[in-house]
Structure 1
Amino acid sequence: MLSKKIHMLSPVQSDATAELIMPGIIDSHVHLLGTGLAMLELQVNHCRDLNDLHRVVNDYLDQFTGTWVIGRGWDQNKLGFELDKRLLDSLCPERPMLMYRVCGHVVAANTQALVAAGVNRQTDDIPGGVIKRDDHGEPTGVFEERAMELFEGSIPVPKRELITSALDKAINYAHRYGITGVQTDDLEVVGDYNTLWSYYQHAIEQLPLRVQLHHRIRALSQLQEFSYIKKQQPDTEFIRVGAAKLFLDGSLGARTAALLADYSDQPDTRGVLVYEDAELREIVAFAEQHSVTLALHAIGDRAIEQALNAIAAVRGADSPGPVKHRLIHCQVTNTRQIKRMRNLGIIIEIQPGFLQTDMDWVWSRVGTDRLQTSYCWRSLAQSGLVLTGGSDAPVEDLNPWHGIATAVTRTNQAGEPARGWNRPEALDLPQALTAYTAASALLMGSDFGSVAAGKWADLAVYNDFDCDKLAANRPNRVIIAGQTVYQR
């Protein structure tokens, strides 16, 4: 039997005779409960035209009854058009309907949803968000960034049975691909950190998984509340208190990622900054004073600049501080910012799977010059920055091997482009595997993430590991704390 911890014995106690034993994969950025719920909701990510959309929505409406219809995954780059109120009214005229773009930073709403949320022509714009309007000032049904908050009080909170089912589905899926730990942001689903903790505690009693729970915040008052929770809530063997998560900007696909210069394909647009500079500095100052790690969603170079400026202003210089904050995504940057990240001791959370989706159109958003320092994982690693690997599921597939393969090959699932998209920025396989194991483990603790004496036996066993077909790799057995949780 594999012992719970790996001890320095001779021979090492193990019943594994496989070709390869790896540390379990740790997804450093995921919405695990959201991923499970997405498996139970309307999914339109495979739709390529209006006929596809009508067929998928009609099939869903025929099968599922209820008050609200929540869907996810639409992408105007695939469909050739954006969803709005008029289109959703034709798809679902009788029930409130919200359709989230694949990135999660834009939602389209039908008329019934607008009525339920009390949104109309008189509704004020929200700082850090955009309500798209027609020439008469009427909402078109498209809401970006913080404007999506207008619906939060109207959408029914999922019942315990649904949350239990969603977590079971997501954890089983994670085990199937060798994931033994996650750092997850799910607070928006239930609205209360302690309630979320109890849901996860119940789930992992049945299906073990190491979980670090982040706390989504929008204002200083919420950070102050989380600081208190962090001091009161003791970590357990499997659940640990995570970081305070903030969105600084949006996504490239929606053109809401904040850029220093105009979007190349929309010269009057530079994206959306969610916070004013002074507000963010105040949040960073409190976090540094109270030893709270911030996980800052920053895709565009303007959002990255704002984050670095805020941290440096609080510290008085571009230098390490008492807390290692994290930048999530960090997709469009530049060499000067990379140097500042290193000097400030920032940890970078990358999601290589994004490139599979983005490579066909991102050049049109950022242009040739900025493209050279976009998704620049090798440059980040060579500068001395710690990179951690994640999926951001349900935005991308939770399967980590898609991300690992993309990090190494810089190609999509069809193997294109043959020479790799900006191939010099590819990671080598050891770098990619480290990002998804030992580096991600550093954010949760030092007692797992590698195969070493004294570490927890969180392992994935592969009988037929293929370095040339990384995306196809599947573990034959997954072990957490010495217990087999999955066997193929």
Structure 2
Amino acid sequence: MSRFYFLGLLACLINTSALAAPASSTSLLYNVTGYSLNSGRVERFSALEFQGDTITAVYPTPEAAKASKANERIDGGGATLLPGLIDAHGHVGGYGKSLSQVDLVGVTSEKAAGARVAEVAATESKDWILGRGWNQALWPGKSFPTRESLDKVAPDQPVALVRIDGHALWVNSAALELAGIDASVSDPPGGQIIRDASGVATGVLVDNAMNLINQVIADDSDQQVVEYQRRALDKLAGYGLTSVHDARSDARSIRAYQALAEKQALAIRVYPMLDVLDAGIDPYLAAGPVIDPTHMLDIRSVKISADGALGSRGAAMIADYSDEPGHRGLLLLSDAELEHHINRAMAAGYQVNTHAIGDLANQRVLDLYQPLLAKNTAAGLRHRIEHAQVLRPQDIPRFRTLNVIASVQPTHATSDKNMAEDRVGADRLQGAYAWKSLLDAGTRMAGGSDFPVEHPNPFHGLYAAITRQGQDGEPPGGWLPEQKLSRAEALHLFTEGAAYAAHQEHLIGRLAPGYYADFILVDSDYFTMPESDIWKTRVLETWVAGRRVYGTD
């Protein structure tokens, strides 16, 4: 038995013993406006009863709740009660780490980004200045930044700043020198070193080229990884998330999750996707999925990336980028490599979740899934495409045909609306960010945010799915408004849909007897409040398995 598999079993046994003790009381949460979904249909109720970690009754009216024999009564204060929300695609460690780095989200110019770096350079002595969140699409001219602007504010300390989508890195000359990147270094497969007319690196590296820098940055310690995860999960609970699918976890991240699970220190449920390119995950594939009896840490999926992102022009497109003729993005793996990794994960009984943003990448993944699903009789493993962002219209029905889940992030549509048409042109927008078209075609779907690319607050995603607008209300009527979802459809993505995408639809995602008591109390009625205010919803309490993990008092 491998050491990693043993740790997973140990965590499960510890959690099982912790929950084996008889529940001391039955609790009734009353005086609420409760909502749940049942196969997408809205169900309303007035009180929720639970014993230990499990829901025992749902009462439709206050009168019906009088029949409860609960010995603990909790007054909900008239708040709205919803199922715990599930983010089907986030980056937990990256988010936790970003909380201690230079925050460049929303900066409006290259100069403004440099000013934030300058503040750190002037006050902190670090081996590296690290940051995340810049987006040149928001800047005048929309051009990639250069090393010169960082050289001015940090001439001696190496600087590495991750783009908002995580698919490009902006560095200074000191960082390039440490990595040995000069005009003689070729672009790696699946990566691009942006260069000037004379072939000199400008300071931006895209997708696989980022590894040239990452390999010279000192690794975080194991304890730091644990702390990033713990801090992130605590923050996520405050936004109303009771479960998260971590979209790429290497072996060390899994060990960190298991360490937290052993201490019963996972604030919310985690469904990690193993990084298929990390050799450390091979023992997991050899041993098969590890299912936690408490389902706080189920390990049964892998993550593969087929292409890059649209904002950095790394998404793999069938035709040229509209704003860069001759360029069609980046395929991160060869056909043979991609097929090999999909096949070995399916054969091991793991769900395969493949990142695909461009129409070429999505077509390619669907083409590879089709024969491999039949070969491995693996359709029941519920394979997914993460993002499914720019699709050929003819590929949309293939998701239903192949039983492939589309794992989408609604806030990407509203964040990208000012950039997407520049990249792909109006014609290709017919199949882009097409959540309603996918749903109407019968596609199983899950909703997420892709934090820290986007804000992790799920109410931002619900708002974006319903309005197709930014939080400023623009554009009037919504961007590509034919792709708007109803409130119930949007909530389904972040509850029942995300639960199904993790093989947990009989455990979480609904508020019904026999389900885990994962729920949230919020300050506004999601189904009756003005849709323009949905993103402002404030979470009052978050409960996971009958235990309050976040509260405002």
- Pair 1:417–1:194, CA change in 2 (3 A): closer
Of residues 435, 439, 447 in structure 2, which corresponds to 1:377?
A: 435
Match of 1:73 in 2: 133
Question: How far 1:402 sits from its partner (Å)?
Answer: 0.5
For the pair 1:459 / 2:509, whether they are aligned, the reply is no
Q: Aligned partners of 2:89 and 2:403: how far apart in 1? A: 19
- Pair 1:33–1:367, CA change in 2 (3 A): same
8 Å Cα contact 2:225-2:253 kept in structure 1: no
Q: Aligned partners of 1:476 and 1:301: how far apart in 2? A: 41
Q: Aligned partners of 1:152 and 1:12: how far apart in 2? A: 58
Match of 1:94 in 2: 156
Question: How far 1:331 sits from its partner (Å)?
Answer: 1.1
For the pair 1:28 / 2:85, whether they are aligned, the reply is no
Q: What residue identity is the alignment partner of 2:352?
A: L
Moved more, 85-94 or 192-201: 192-201
8 Å Cα contact 1:217-1:246 kept in structure 2: yes
Moved more, 166-175 or 31-40: 166-175
Moved more, 23-32 or 464-473: 464-473
8 Å Cα contact 1:193-1:215 kept in structure 2: no
Q: Aligned partners of 2:524 and 2:350: how far apart in 1? A: 42
Of residues 341, 356, 381 in structure 2, which corresponds to 1:298?
A: 356
For the pair 1:284 / 2:333, whether they are aligned, the reply is no
Q: Aligned partners of 1:200 and 1:129: how far apart in 2? A: 35
Question: How far 1:395 sits from its partner (Å)?
Answer: 0.3
Q: Aligned partners of 2:206 and 2:459: how far apart in 1? A: 31
Question: How far 1:320 sits from its partner (Å)?
Answer: 7.6
Match of 1:332 in 2: 390
Of residues 243, 251, 255 in structure 2, which corresponds to 1:181?
A: 243
Q: Deviations over 1:161-210 (max 9, x none)?
A: 5445433432232122211110113536xx625433335436x7345211
Moved more, 152-161 or 367-376: 152-161
- Pair 1:241–1:403, CA change in 2 (3 A): same
- Pair 1:133–1:50, CA change in 2 (3 A): closer
Q: Aligned partners of 1:247 and 1:375: how far apart in 2? A: 19
Q: What residue identity is the alignment partner of 2:68?
A: P
Of residues 522, 525, 543 in structure 2, which corresponds to 1:479?
A: 543
Match of 2:33 in 1: none
Question: How far 1:152 sits from its partner (Å)?
Answer: 3.0
Matches within 5 A, 1:214-293: 214-218=273-277, 224-228=282-286, 230-231=288-289, 236-293=294-351
Q: Aligned partners of 1:20 and 1:12: how far apart in 2? A: 23
Question: How far 1:394 sits from its partner (Å)?
Answer: 0.5
For the pair 1:129 / 2:188, whether they are aligned, the reply is no
8 Å Cα contact 2:83-2:518 kept in structure 1: yes
Moved more, 364-373 or 308-317: 308-317
8 Å Cα contact 1:249-1:300 kept in structure 2: yes
8 Å Cα contact 1:146-1:274 kept in structure 2: yes
Question: How far 1:417 sits from its partner (Å)?
Answer: 1.1
Question: How far 1:101 sits from its partner (Å)?
Answer: 1.0
Question: How far 1:39 sits from its partner (Å)?
Answer: 1.2
Match of 2:54 in 1: 5
Q: Deviations over 1:338-383 (max 9, x none)?
A: 1111111101111111122111121111111111221111110111
Q: Aligned partners of 2:300 and 2:169: how far apart in 1? A: 27
Tell me the secondary structure at the aligned position of residue 15 of structure 1.
Answer: strand
Greater relative CO, 1 or 2 (CA 8 Å, sep 6+): 1
Question: How far 1:45 sits from its partner (Å)?
Answer: 1.8
Q: Deviations over 1:120-173 (max 9, x none)?
A: 333343111112233444333221111111223321222355445433432232
Tell me the secondary structure at the aligned position of residue 427 of structure 2.
Answer: helix
8 Å Cα contact 1:223-1:244 kept in structure 2: no
Tell me the secondary structure at the aligned position of residue 392 of structure 1.
Answer: coil
Q: Aligned partners of 2:230 and 2:370: how far apart in 1? A: 42
Match of 1:432 in 2: 490
Matches within 5 A, 1:322-471: 322-444=380-502, 445=504, 446-466=506-526, 467-468=529-530, 469-471=533-535
- Pair 1:343–1:60, CA change in 2 (3 A): same
8 Å Cα contact 2:121-2:153 kept in structure 1: no
Q: What residue identity is the alignment partner of 1:371?
A: L
Match of 1:212 in 2: 271
The unaligned stretches of length 5 or more in structure 1 are none
Q: Aligned partners of 1:305 and 1:222: how far apart in 2? A: 30
Tell me the secondary structure at the aligned position of residue 348 of structure 1.
Answer: strand
Question: How far 1:222 sits from its partner (Å)?
Answer: 6.6
8 Å Cα contact 1:246-1:295 kept in structure 2: yes
Q: What residue identity is the alignment partner of 1:285?
A: N
- Pair 1:222–1:249, CA change in 2 (3 A): farther
Of residues 349, 368, 371 in structure 2, which corresponds to 1:310?
A: 368
8 Å Cα contact 1:477-1:484 kept in structure 2: yes
Tell me the secondary structure at the aligned position of residue 150 of structure 2.
Answer: helix
Q: Aligned partners of 2:244 and 2:55: how far apart in 1? A: 21
Tell me the secondary structure at the aligned position of residue 242 of structure 2.
Answer: strand
What's the % identity of the aligned pairs? Answer: 29
Moved more, 155-164 or 401-410: 155-164
8 Å Cα contact 2:290-2:298 kept in structure 1: no
Question: How far 1:42 sits from its partner (Å)?
Answer: 0.6
For the pair 1:108 / 2:108, whether they are aligned, the reply is no
Q: Aligned partners of 2:171 and 2:133: how far apart in 1? A: 14
The unaligned stretches of length 5 or more in structure 2 are 1-26, 28-49, 59-66
8 Å Cα contact 1:29-1:389 kept in structure 2: yes
8 Å Cα contact 1:281-1:313 kept in structure 2: no
So what's the TM-score if we normalise by structure 2? 0.82
Tell me the secondary structure at the aligned position of residue 418 of structure 2.
Answer: coil
Question: How far 1:288 sits from its partner (Å)?
Answer: 2.5
Q: Aligned partners of 2:201 and 2:132: how far apart in 1? A: 20
- Pair 1:277–1:16, CA change in 2 (3 A): farther
Question: How far 1:284 sits from its partner (Å)?
Answer: 2.2
Larger Rg: 2
Tell me the secondary structure at the aligned position of residue 460 of structure 1.
Answer: strand
Q: What residue identity is the alignment partner of 2:54?
A: K
- Pair 1:278–1:235, CA change in 2 (3 A): farther
So what's the TM-score if we normalise by structure 1? 0.92
